[in-house]
Every structure is written in C-alpha cells, then in structure tokens.
Chain A
Amino acid sequence: MKSRSILLLPLFVAIVLGGACKKKNKTLAMDPQRNAYDSEPDWNDAQSVILLNYQQAQGKRIFYAQCVWCHADSTPAGPSNRSNLKPMPALMNDGTVLNGESDEYLQNMITLGGSAVSKSAMMPPYGQTLTQDEIREVIAYARAIAQPPYQPPARPGSKYTAK
C-alpha cells in the first residue's frame, strides 16, 4: 500500500509539472527572402537584395509598368528614355533627391504632375490613371529602394520600437 502511494506521488507531480510547462517547438528554418512578398536588387549594389512587403511590391509592379521608362537607367526593354529628357528625371532610388521630400509632396507631385509643383511639365499627372493607394504604393517602393536609405520622420521609442 505504502509503496503504491509512493509510486503514485511522483507520477502525480510529474503530470502537474508537465502540464504547467510550455511546449517548445522547433521553428521552421526560414531564410529572410521567404518572408518577403518580393525583393529587388539594390540598384547601386547588385550583390545586396532589398526585401519588399506587399505594399512596396505592388509599388514595384506599378513602377516597372509606368515609371521605369524615365526614372531608371535601364528598363525591361533595354535602353531608357531618361537621358533623352531635359531636365533629366531623378532616379527612383536617388535618396539624395527623394529622401528630403515628404510623402505628401511626392503624392501631390505624382497625382498632379510636375507642372503643378513648379517642376518640369514632362512629368505627367497620374491622378486619373492610378488610384491614391497605388500612388502610395509607388512612394513606399521608392522609399524602400532609396540609397542612401530613407529614414522615416522620427517617432518616440519604446521597447516595441526597433533601433
């Protein structure tokens, strides 16, 4: 009788403790590219890859359909129209030009065209071709590929704020 209860006790303790403990699971080995919707090579450094989220990836798609012809030096079709234009349009990843402009300014510029913000009229207005969300996606993409990297306006930190 005694031996039985002695046997039972540790078993009971083990069950209680086992239930209280958290199961630790092996996580799937994941490389970062698998956790990004899309990626784009850094235009200034073909070796490094910039990871894009959904919004930035949609911006990339619109960029390669609409903007690439004048805002990049090479296009999916080969040569670019950029060098053909005066003044020469900014490269989409040119942080020295774009990092200084706010999202709102870029949104206006793309929506209303260059002439609306006293820039070249060669930049056409896209407000009736792209939706405001699509223009935001293009800006998000430009921010993602910017070199030097774009820093969003500072916000107060906490332990859930990286860096």
Chain B
Amino acid sequence: MQAEGMGQISRRLRLTFAVASVLFVIALAISPVKDLLREWKRYKRDYVSFAQTRPDTKRLLADYHADIDQIWIPDLGIVDRCTTCHQGITQPSLLDASVAQPFRMHPPIPHRVREWGCAVCHRGQGAATEVAEAHETTLAWEQPLLPVRYIQASCGTCHRGSLPETPLLNRGRQLLSELNCAGCHRLQGIERSEMLGPDLTNLGTKVSQQWIYKWLKEPRTVTDSSGNVTVDGYDSEGTLPRMPQFRLREPELQALSAYLSTLRANPVESLRFDPRVVAGWSKRPDLLAQGELRFRQMFCSTCHSFAVTRAGETKLIGGDIGPELTKVGSKVNPDWLAAWLRDPQSYLPHTRMPRYQWTDEDLYTVTQYIVAKLNDSDLLTNVPQLGAPTQTEIQMGRRMFVDKGCASCHVVEGIAPQRDLGPDLSAEGGKDLSQLEFGPSRIPRNLIAYIQAKITDPTSVNPSARMPLYKLTPSDLDALTTTLLSMTGTPAASGMQKLIVPRPEGTFRPAGEFSRVYERYKCSECHQFNGVGGTLAPDLSYEGSRAQRQWLISFLKNPQTLRPTLVLRMPQFNMTDQEAAILADYVGIVLQSPLVDPSKIDPKSFSPEKVALGRQLYEVKYQCQSCHTIGSNGGYVGPNLSNAGNWLTPAWIAAWLRNPQALVPGTIEPRRSLTEDEIQALTAYLATLHQSRKSTTGASATNGASFRAGSEGGGRQ
C-alpha cells in the first residue's frame, strides 16, 4: 500500500518535475533571446545600415563599436548611456532635420557632447538602456526628460550669472527679484533685496483710506473712458505690477485699509510756496499747459509709465523703474506730492527717485498739472462708504498685515518681517513626484505642471495657500518655471560645487563731492559704473575717455541735445553749474579706459588732406553712412556723428575704430580690419565734424521717428 502510494507520488512528482524542467529551460532561453532583441542593440545595428546609405559611411562608423556607450561624470554623479543609441550625435553631416532620430546630430552647443553627455542638461535616466525608461516617467524613475522649452534650467544649475544664450532663464531670474519672491521664499542665488515694496510707515499722510481699499482689491487696474479694463496691471512691454492681488474678503479689506490709513509717523507739513508765485500762477490760463510742458521736459516717463490711448487702444508708455502714474492725481494728497517732489529722500531715505533741482514756479506748476490732469474722478466710485477707522478694525488690520505676510515686502515701524513665510524653493527644481502635494487639482502629475499651477493659481493645489495672485504672460510663466527648475538645491555630489560658475560682482564706490551729486540724482539707477547699476542708459564706466568735458557739462545741463527723439531718455534735473562741473571732473579723471591713449593721437596732425581721405573712407570704402548720420544723410542704427568733433575725444574715436568691443563689450558696431593710417584719417575726419547749436535743433526736427535702437546702440557708443 505504502510502496504503491510512493510509486504514485513519485510518478506524479516525476510529471511535475518534467513540466517544471521544460518551463525552466524555456525561462532560461528567454533571457538570452531578450538580450539579443534589446532595443539598444537594434539601434546599434540600424545605425550601421543607416551609415551605409550615407556618402560618408567611413567617417560615420569610425568610432563604432557594438557595446553600450557610457559617459561618466563622477562630480555630478551622472552615468549617461544616451550615446549608445544617439550615435550620430557629434556627426556634422547628420545635423539637418531630414535625419530622423535617434541618429541626428545635436545642434552645436558650447559644451562638448562627448564629454558631458545628455542627461546633464536634458535630465531623464542616463543609465537606462531602454527608450521609454530613459525618456519618460516610469514607476521606478521619477525624473522624465526635461522639455526643451525649459532646458535653460539646466544651464542655470551651474551658471549663476546671466548668459546671453539663456534669455528665458535670465528673464525668470529678473522676475523673481522684481516680484520680490525672495520676500517670502528662500531661493537659490537670489537674495532678499534691501528694498522690496514701499515703506508704509507714513502711508496715512500720502493716500486716503478709500484709495488703499481700492488698491488692495485690485492693484493697478487701468480702465479707459468707457470703463473697460484695458490694461489689467500688465502690458506687452513687460512692465509688471509688483503688487500682487490678495484674495481679501470685504471685512478684511476694510480692516486692512483702516489700519494702513492710520500709519502717520511723521505728518507732512503743507509746503509753503512763495505767495507771489502762487498768486501769479493760480489765475493764469496757461498754468496747466506750462505745468505739462515742464513735466514733459523732465522726462518722468523714463522711469514712470502712463496709460496713453491712441486710436482707441490703451497702452502703457514709459519706463518701469518707478510706479505707473496715470491716475496719481486721484491717489496722493497734493501736499504730500509737493513735498515728495521737492525732496523724495526725506520721505523715503532709500528711494530710487532722484532729487530734482526745483524753482518754486516749476514745482507749483508741475504739482498743479499732476493733480489736475493725471487724474480719474471715477477711480474710487466703486469703493463703499468707509467710516472712520474703529479700534477693532485697526487691530484686525494689523493682525492681517502680519498674517498675510505684508511685512515680507513692506516696512512698517514696529512690525518685523516674518522669515520664511512661504515654502523654501531653493531645491524645488530637483524635487521628486513623491515630494509634491497636488491636492484637489487635476493637473498632470509632473513637476512642471505642478510649478505652473502653483504660480498661476496657488489655491488650485493648496486651497489654504497664502500666496497672492500674480498675472503673468505665458512666456513669463515659462521663464519662472525654467528658473525654479534650475534651483536644484545643495548639490548631492560634492564635486559639483567646483563646477558652479558664480555670478560676477561689480565694484564701484563713488567718492567725495561726486558721490553726493551721484546719490542725489541717482545716476546708477539707469547707468552702469564698473558693473554696478541699471541697464537702461549707456554704461559710463569709460565715459571720461569718451566724452569731452565741455560737451559733458552742456549735456548734463540740457540732455535733450543727444538723440532728441528717444522715448526713454535722460531727465533734465536742472543741475547747477557747480554740480555739472563736479560730475564732469570726476568722470574725466576717474572713468578712464586703459585702452584709450590720448598721447597716440595728435589733433595738430589733422591736415585737410587727412580729413579728405577720412571722408572718402567713410563715404566710399566703408560706407559708414549705412548706419550713421552726418548732417541729414545716413542711417539710424548708430549715433548721429554730426557733432562728433565736439562730443568725442579723438583718442576715443581712434580706439573705437580699432576695436569697438574692447571698449564696450557687446556693442553692435562690427570690428573692422582698418590700417593705422585709415584709423588716423577717419579720426581726423570725425574729430573735425562740428555742429553749432542752431543746426542741432534743425537736425533733430528732421529726425522725426522715435528710434529706440539708437538708444541701445547709442547706449554703447
């Protein structure tokens, strides 16, 4: 019985064993077959047959081998096998789009592809050997390929300064600092700036509670005469409202505006104008016209923008250094306005606004003009009746000021800014899916969609988010996304630290009397000095080598003479002779380029023959008139040279002709191979071009079109 049973079991066992063995053999066989059919092996073989159809087969197959290619960057912890399939990646004959992937050449980039590989920029899984695993999100891999649109994020991971090749990244960094994101978030490479939003310590003396209410509800909304919102705080020129929109309920709006309207640390005294000026002007019919003329001459629009309606279309025109002023007359208290214009620094010590030199007449007429004309009587019609601030409102408002994070951007005496009010974003770009909270939103589950949803509407992923709403164009949204993706936090591999290219730091310390005038007129808000300052106006690091002292003084006194048709131009500060002389002397002595050597050019050698030769070179051989105007003929790309003899130093002209980019990096005038004799002759010609004051105005009148290229090109020369 037992033996029989055992026999039966062993028969059954034998059968099971046989079946298992067959399956085992099959399973064993699957592995080599799978290995033989691997995707990358197929691409390897296909590349060979593809190369054979090309005329340069030999070169295409010079480095070919049948194994996996691997690039290893230990400093970054990157193992990159992408070139296993992308075998034509460095073959120039495979560049054009008619070659299908994976064999097309990568467009030439500043880094050697064979050295750095692909994953360092494109992300994805460098070590993967299957198409899907390398490029896409799988269960095991969370980092998909970065869409090329955002690839500049990878440049920014190492390059902390701005590169000309990465406009989107640069724009994103600019936005992050302009929108004061660092006020609430910790960011990589962007520090909290000294001045974020305006100081509110004295706000009650400046604006009414109604205006604060309106502003908190809908910051900077520009409406046209029919009440349509035409510029919703944003325009195509790239001016942004720095104040975002907070989602405040009615009682919150009332409480916060009540609290803010009670901030009056130092009451403004109404400015006492000379009674004769007021009496003389207040009755004159041309009061506002004169005010407007004076206002325009000061070129407030270089820093401030204004909504202008032309042909039914409302647009913002002007600069974005200061706030938009279309309706400022309905906003500020007239007494405050006059006091502010006379001496902005006494209200706000770190303001960017220059202190103009005023006469009582000018100040009175301009103030009257602003109050009367830059005004919108309907601005506050939608604001409900707000009673006098009650103690409860003020207390609630103060609490909200703290809770909403207002103190992150605005200064109010006695309220310290809360550190790290928003989440730390310095490693946002390297986050895995598991670290992201998508909340109730139905967006695709990836980092890019997450970042974009969060910026566009923070409550979509987190209903209790405190972050306010920012209005961004699609391209600015992409720019911000790119920059946030570039912030991958402290590098995991310590070797990466040495690959980081830091941002260059400028140094310029104005001294003595010059620094006083420089601070007063805020020169560095628009001009650069050795890498310090704004980019709106020409770089003045070498101005002392370029401009003649006499020209500089008359320009500072009356800046309208150069490029009279520009929209954004140097304001007329009404400098005193003494101030202009201080600036010109300092510029002439300190802001010198070592490349400009006055001893090499002798103005006495400018013989009529030399001048004539120079003129011939200018007009015939090099045809400089294609870009420059002399008299009334020529192009508008470079500056008008009619007055070059009074404006530029001969040494600068010669050095410029030798190598423009050496004096002003990035200037658009191409460098030519001129002989030394030609340089001397051209210098002689240009240095003897003089224009009397009378003909300047004549030329500017004919130069009708406003041409900003001139400002940029001219900014550089």
Residues of A within 8 A of B (CB): 1-2, 5, 9, 12-13, 16, 19-20, 23-25, 27-30, 33-38, 53-56, 58, 61, 65-66, 69-70, 75-79, 81, 84-85, 120-122, 124-126, 128-129, 133, 136-137, 140, 152, 155-163
Question: Which B residues, 48 to 101, have Cβ-Cβ distances below 8 Å to chain A?
Answer: 49-50, 53-55, 93, 96-100
Contact A79-B705, Cβ < 8 Å, known A128-B671, A152-B98, A162-B100: yes
Is A160 touching B149 in the complex (CB atoms < 8 A)?
Answer: no
Contact A25-B668, Cβ < 8 Å, known A5-B16, A20-B34, A85-B626: no
CA distance A37 to B54 in the complex (A): 28
> Of B93, B620, B707, which is within 8 A of A79 by CB?
B707
Taking CB atoms, residues of chain B closer than 8 Å to A25 are: 132, 136-138
Is B151 on the interface with A (CB-CB < 8 A)?
yes
| Pairs across A and B, CB under 8 Å, 10 listed | A1-B9, A16-B23, A16-B26, A33-B149, A35-B149, A54-B108, A124-B672, A129-B670, A133-B108, A155-B93
Question: Which B residues, 672 to 717, have Cβ-Cβ distances below 8 Å to chain A?
Answer: 672-673, 705-713
Is A55 touching B108 in the complex (CB atoms < 8 A)?
Answer: yes
Taking CB atoms, residues of chain B closer than 8 Å to A160 are: 46, 50, 99-100, 103
Closest to A130 in B: B670
Contact A16-B55, Cβ < 8 Å, known A25-B136, A70-B626, A128-B671: no
Minimum CB–CB distance from A1 to chain B (whole Å) comes to: 7
CA distance A23 to B139 in the complex (A): 10
Is A124 touching B50 in the complex (CB atoms < 8 A)?
Answer: no
CA distance A121 to B672 in the complex (A): 12
Is A121 touching B148 in the complex (CB atoms < 8 A)?
Answer: no
Minimum CB–CB distance from B513 to chain A (whole Å) comes to: 37
Closest to A56 in B: B107
Is B623 touching A36 in the complex (CB atoms < 8 A)?
Answer: no
Is B661 on the interface with A (CB-CB < 8 A)?
yes
**Chain B interface secondary structure, helix, strand, loop or mixed?**
loop
Is B285 on the interface with A (CB-CB < 8 A)?
no
CA distance A156 to B50 in the complex (A): 10
CA distance A61 to B705 in the complex (A): 25
Taking CB atoms, residues of chain A closer than 8 Å to B139 are: 23
CA distance A68 to B713 in the complex (A): 12
Is B623 touching A28 in the complex (CB atoms < 8 A)?
Answer: no
CA distance A13 to B53 in the complex (A): 44
Q: How many residues of B contact A (CB 8 A)?
A: 69
Is B23 touching A13 in the complex (CB atoms < 8 A)?
Answer: yes
CA distance A120 to B627 in the complex (A): 14
CA distance A38 to B634 in the complex (A): 34
Is B53 touching A158 in the complex (CB atoms < 8 A)?
Answer: yes
Taking CB atoms, residues of chain B closer than 8 Å to A69 are: 627, 635, 637, 668, 709, 713
Is B636 on the interface with A (CB-CB < 8 A)?
yes
Please list the 9 inter-chain residue pairs (A to B) with the smallest Cβ-Cβ separation, ordered nearest first: A55-B107, A77-B709, A77-B708, A122-B626, A158-B53, A34-B147, A128-B671, A129-B670, A69-B637
Minimum CB–CB distance from A57 to chain B (whole Å) comes to: 8
> Of B106, B151, B623, B666, which is within 8 A of A121 by CB?
B623
> Of B446, B637, B673, B708, which is within 8 A of A81 by CB?
B637
> Of B149, B621, B634, B670, which is within 8 A of A126 by CB?
B670
Is B30 on the interface with A (CB-CB < 8 A)?
yes
Closest to A9 in B: B19
Taking CB atoms, residues of chain A closer than 8 Å to B103 are: 160
Is B32 on the interface with A (CB-CB < 8 A)?
no
> Of B30, B46, B637, which is within 8 A of A70 by CB?
B637
Is A81 touching B137 in the complex (CB atoms < 8 A)?
Answer: no
Is B672 touching A54 in the complex (CB atoms < 8 A)?
Answer: no
CA distance A65 to B667 in the complex (A): 9
Minimum CB–CB distance from B238 to chain A (whole Å) comes to: 12
CA distance A56 to B96 in the complex (A): 12
Taking CB atoms, residues of chain A closer than 8 Å to B713 are: 69
| Extra pairs beyond A1-B9, A78-B705, A159-B50 (8, CB < 8 Å) | A25-B132, A77-B712, A121-B620, A121-B622, A122-B626, A126-B670, A155-B54, A155-B55
CA distance A13 to B26 in the complex (A): 10
Taking CB atoms, residues of chain A closer than 8 Å to B137 are: 25, 28
Is B164 on the interface with A (CB-CB < 8 A)?
yes
CA distance A133 to B112 in the complex (A): 14
Is B636 touching A58 in the complex (CB atoms < 8 A)?
Answer: no
Is B708 touching A78 in the complex (CB atoms < 8 A)?
Answer: yes
Contact A58-B165, Cβ < 8 Å, known A27-B136, A66-B668, A78-B707: yes
Taking CB atoms, residues of chain B closer than 8 Å to A33 are: 149
Is A20 touching B30 in the complex (CB atoms < 8 A)?
Answer: yes
Closest to B53 in A: A158
Closest to B130 in A: A22
Is B167 touching A61 in the complex (CB atoms < 8 A)?
Answer: yes
Taking CB atoms, residues of chain B closer than 8 Å to A77 are: 707-712
Taking CB atoms, residues of chain B closer than 8 Å to A157 are: 53
> Of B27, B100, B671, which is within 8 A of A129 by CB?
B671
Contact A161-B98, Cβ < 8 Å, known A33-B149, A55-B108, A155-B55: yes
Closest to B704 in A: A79
Is B1 on the interface with A (CB-CB < 8 A)?
no
